[in-house]
Each structure stands twice: as structure tokens, then as C-alpha cells.
A = this chain, B = another copy of it.
Amino acid sequence: MLAELRRAITTGRLRPGAPIRQDALADELQVSRVPLREALKTLEGEGLVTHQAHKGYCVATLSLDDLREVYRIRELLEEEAVRRAVPLLTDADLDRLEAAQRDVERAAAAGDVLAMATANRLFHMTLFDCAGMPRLARLIRTLWDTTDAYRSMYYGDGGNRERVVKEHRATLDALRRRSADEAVATLDVHRDHAVTELQSLLPASP
């Protein structure tokens, strides 16, 4: 249930800034308000929703500053994850990365925005999980979640999809050669492209 709610937000079905009507949402999720409120509390902790006493929950919106901050923190944490992961990468790990990348390419070719987002995420998380630092991976995951609602916009553009595919290939090559420096570098440009694109897509004021 919590997963379903999270997906509703990260896929953008519940729009950023929209107020959350507990009664209606509980109805929709076939559950009572108590467990829904618990789920909202965990999502609040993850920064996906905000809460004001006696006014209720809203789907969180990202300001430009927030976006930059999230991406800067990701840069720091993901570099650490990659540097830890590279020496630990097994052939099986590389196979899984390769498989994830094939999914990305398939989704990119099909223009399937949702599939693209999930495949892309799987690719990165597969890598981060190889670092053997579960807390770090979890932190990174929640940082991704906070921008996921906007990511679908990013993948709406075919050019962006193509670029992502190429950048992943570069990362994968670096990983195969066990070059942490290069892997980090390719991921940094990958991220930079995303953040510049997203900045222009972000709503004007918030």
C-alpha cells in the first residue's frame, strides 16, 4: 500500500503541490485512514510529502535551490558508492548492469517514459548496492525519490533518452575496466545534464 502510494507520487500521478485528501485517497487505496496516515508519515520523512498541522499533507514541490541541493548531495554520496563498488564488482554484477542497461535501451527506443524511469533507476541502484553500504544506498534512494516526480518530464524528450543511453554505456565501459575515476566522471556529467534539463522544466516560482 505504501509502495503504491509512493509510486503514485514518484510517477507524477499525484502532482507536486497537490493537497492530499485523506478520505478520498484512503478510499482509492482500499484502506482506512489510519494506515494511510502512517504511510504519509514515512513519506514525509522521505521528503515526498509535506505536512502542516491541521491543514494536512501536500505532495512536495522542489524549488530550484532544493533541486541543486539534492543533486549536490547525490554527487557526494554516489561518488562514494561508486568508489566502494568498483573494487567489489563481480562478473555477475556486471551482467546485471548490462541487463539493466538493455532494459533502458529498449524503453528509450520504445519511447516508454515510465519504463525508462524504472530501468534507469534499476541500473544506478544495482551499481550503488554493490558498494556494500546499505545505509548509503538507502539515502541515495530517498534522494532519487524526491526528484522522481519530475524525472518523467525529463524522459519525455527523445534527445534526453538518447543521451542517457550513451552516458550509461560510457559508465558501463568504465566499470568493466574497473576505473572508478572514469565511472565517477561519466556519472557526474550524466547528473549534470539531468539537473540542467530539469531546472528548465521546473515550475517557475516555488
Stretch at the interface among A133-141, A150-158, A163-171: A133-141
- Chain A 18-54 per-residue mask, 1 if CB under 8 angstroms from chain B, else 0: 0000000000000000100111011011110000000
Q: Which residue of chain B lies nearest to A138 when distances are taken between CB atoms in the complex?
A: B47
Main SS class of interface, A = helix
Report A38 CB to chain B, min CB distance, Å.
5
Determine whether A88 belongs to the interface, using a CB cutoff of 8 Å to chain B: no
Determine whether A202 belongs to the interface, using a CB cutoff of 8 Å to chain B: no
- Chain A 80-105 per-residue mask, 1 if CB under 8 angstroms from chain B, else 0: 10000000000000000000000000
Stretch at the interface among A69-77, A109-117, A122-130: A69-77
Determine whether A162 belongs to the interface, using a CB cutoff of 8 Å to chain B: no
Residues of B near A76 (CB, < 8 A) are 76-77, 80
Residues of B near A173 (CB, < 8 A) are none
Identical chains bound together, number: 2
Residues of B near A44 (CB, < 8 A) are 42, 45
**Complex alpha-carbon distance, A70 and B133, angstroms:** 9
Residues of B near A42 (CB, < 8 A) are 41-42, 44-45
Residues of B near A66 (CB, < 8 A) are 135
Q: Which listed residue, B38, B45, B134, touches A37 by the CB 8 Å rule?
A: B38
**Complex alpha-carbon distance, A134 and B69, angstroms:** 9
Residues of B near A47 (CB, < 8 A) are 135
* A69-B34 contact given A45-B45, A46-B45, A77-B76, CB 8 Å threshold: no
Q: Which residue of chain B lies nearest to A66 when distances are taken between CB atoms in the complex?
A: B135
4 additional A-B residue pairs with CB within 8 Å, beyond A38-B38, A72-B136, A73-B77: A38-B41, A42-B44, A70-B135, A73-B135
